Amino acid sequence: MFYWALMFLVVAIVAGIFGLTGVAAIASEVAWILFVVGLILAVVFFIMGRRPPKL
């Protein structure tokens, strides 16, 4: 998830350099959403992994 967020961020930066502001805006929004979802999943998996196994 973080890999895809980083890739969309790179696309946004490159698009911004070339003046493609629409593409840069969409790519940066997608990167932000993927980063937040990845962070939430990482926290959930961290918390779920600390529970004792069910008998």
Average pLDDT, the chain: 90
Split at pLDDT 50, 70, 90, the class of 54 is confident
Give the pLDDT confidence score for residue 22 in this predicted structure.
93
Task: With a cut of 80, say whether residue 40 has pLDDT above it.
Answer: yes
In Å, what is the CA distance from 36 to each residue of 21, 29, 53? 22, 11, 28
Which ranges of the chain does DSSP label H, i.e. alpha helix? 2-17, 21-48
Q: What is the pLDDT of residues 3-35, one digit of tens each?
A: 999 999 999 999 999 999 999 999 999 999 999
